[in-house]
Amino acid sequence: MLEVEPLEGLVRERPYRDVRFELGSGGAVSFDLAREQCGGLLETAVARRLQSDVPVGVLLSGGVDSSLVSLLAAAQSPRPVRTFVATFEETAFDEARYAREVSARAGSVHEEIAVTLDDPAVALARLVRAYGEPFGDDSAIPTLALFAGLKPHVRVALTGDGGDEVFAGYKDVRVFLLRARLRGLLGTGDLVPSFLVGRLVHHRHRRLRELGYGALALGTSGAELFSSLLRDGWTRRWREATMRAEAW
């Protein structure tokens, strides 16, 4: 982000967040032990957030993350958990069927909320006030509309947000893994000749441009990887193709 000091005429560029990830002093653990410890941490995290003096619910999309939160909440709550799903007129975005199946397993009191979007200019002003920080994901608009629909029912809502980031759930992560394996086999040089990448990314045929950006991603730094894949819609098509399979 850019930080401006108008009176001093200074402009500084810095990360909005400076998050540090450090391993504990316990040393390496086996996968089975790590999985067990992770399960305990998730149970504790959900239990803590259920402690509230106002009604609590769970946003349930039917995906892995929100389904896990819903099931953990149902297992620890002394009364049936309330779950909510956003419904849309566009069937490609509607996840109500999957949410119903998870709700039936969790035994939750389930409600479907039809989401209608404001005028974009009105929605943008509301978003800025609600988030209070830079947030560039287009999911913010339907999320804001969903929480407006939740307000008459509950005052606190748990979500599965962050699960993909913490557990590397995005399909794009496979490119990181592929790049690491290729570097292990081929060394630290360029994985794809730069002259070939340059020709592909400027090719008049779209599929060859996509191949070029994919090849570029294999040779770029982690900071540049995602922006390379975003060009010409790589990540969008991957997610559309795997959206339902990933949920189950």
Residue 27 domain-assigned (yes or no)? no
| 53 shares its domain with 107 | yes
20-67 residue pLDDT tens: 766 565 667 788 888 888 899 999 999 999 999 999 999 998 888 999
Helices (H), the chain: 31-50, 64-76, 96-106, 120-131, 140-150, 163-167, 173-186, 194-201, 206-219, 222-230, 234-247
| 118 shares its domain with 206 | no
Residue 112 domain-assigned (yes or no)? yes
- Rounded to an integer, the average pLDDT of 140-156 is 85
- The pair of structure tokens assigned to 206 is 């779209």
| 143 shares its domain with 195 | no
**Helix/strand/coil for 29:** coil
| 143 shares its domain with 111 | yes
Residue 84 φ then ψ, to 5°: -135, 145
Residue 19 domain-assigned (yes or no)? no
| 153 shares its domain with 126 | yes
* Higher pLDDT pick, 108 / 35: 108
Spatial separation of the C-alpha atoms in residues 129 and 138, rounded to whole Å: 16
- Among the three residues 105, 139, 167, which one is the final residue of a domain in this structure? 167
Question: How many domains in the chain?
Answer: 2
- Among the three residues 167, 201, 216, which one is the final residue of a domain in this structure? 167
Residue 18 domain-assigned (yes or no)? no
pLDDT of residue 139: 75
- The pair of structure tokens assigned to 81 is 């958990």
| 160 shares its domain with 48 | yes
For residue 86, name the pLDDT band (cuts at 50, 70, 90): confident
Spatial separation of the C-alpha atoms in residues 232 and 147, rounded to whole Å: 32
| 199 shares its domain with 223 | yes
Q: Give the mean pLDDT of the chain.
A: 76
161 has pLDDT over 70: yes
- The pair of structure tokens assigned to 34 is 């790590």
- Rounded to an integer, the average pLDDT of 214-228 is 51
CB atoms within 10 A of CB 63: 21
* Higher pLDDT pick, 236 / 145: 145
- The pair of structure tokens assigned to 178 is 């592929």
Residue 160 domain-assigned (yes or no)? yes
pLDDT of residue 216: 59
Spatial separation of the C-alpha atoms in residues 108 and 85, rounded to whole Å: 12
15 has pLDDT over 60: yes
Which residues are within 8 A (CB) of 45 and not within 5 positions of it... i.e. 6 or more apart? none
pLDDT of residue 116: 75
User: Residue 10 is inside which H or E element, if any?
Assistant: strand 10-13
Q: In terms of Cα–Cα distance, which of 189, 169, 191, 167 is closest to 179?
A: 191
* Higher pLDDT pick, 131 / 228: 131
Q: Under a CB-based contact definition with an 8 Å cutoff, are residues 43 and 226 in contact?
A: no
Which residues are within 8 A (CB) of 190 and not within 5 positions of it... i.e. 6 or more apart? 219
| 181 shares its domain with 159 | no
| 142 shares its domain with 217 | no
Which residues are within 8 A (CB) of 204 and not within 5 positions of it... i.e. 6 or more apart? none
- Choice among 5-9, 100-104, 194-198 with the minimum mean pLDDT: 194-198
CB atoms within 10 A of CB 156: 14
- Among the three residues 108, 139, 167, which one is the final residue of a domain in this structure? 167
Residue 7 domain-assigned (yes or no)? no
| 212 shares its domain with 153 | no
- The pair of structure tokens assigned to 24 is 């504990």
In which domain, by residue range, is 91 found?
A: 36-167
